[in-house]
Amino acid sequence: MSLLSKDELKEQGWEEPLDESPADNPDGWYWGSVSHTGGGIFCRIWSTRESVGDRGDDEPDTYFEVIYGTEFDGVGVNRYEYNDTHNEWQLEETTTTKLHDERTDSACANLAAELMEQQDTP
């Protein structure tokens, strides 16, 4: 499936800006754009990692992501650990899930910012 245009994303309920965070990122958090995660699924994702890919020599072995999808019903905080045996990041747990009654992109982005502020990060 091809990626959707900005207009098609907006029809699904996503709000501008699509290519960056609509809320101010707390220190140590990056991204916040709408991302295609595969299979026609789109999510807004923030991370404590600056870039995607292999673990750098100076990086901690844990990182967090805050994420929500097109349902706009809530936000999750996921913790990832680096597995040296398999040389890959693995989802270890969802540490927090908060629901939101408003079910809009902007409401979830604000909730995401609150959860990022509250999360202890490496």
| Residues 39-65 pLDDT 10s | 889 999 999 998 877 777 777 889 999
Query: 3-state DSSP call for residue 35?
Result: strand
Please report, as a single letter, which amino acid is at residue 115: L
User: Alpha-carbon distance 17 to 76, whole Å?
Assistant: 21
Average pLDDT over residues 67-90: 94
Average pLDDT over residues 15-33: 94
User: Alpha-carbon distance 80 to 90, whole Å?
Assistant: 5
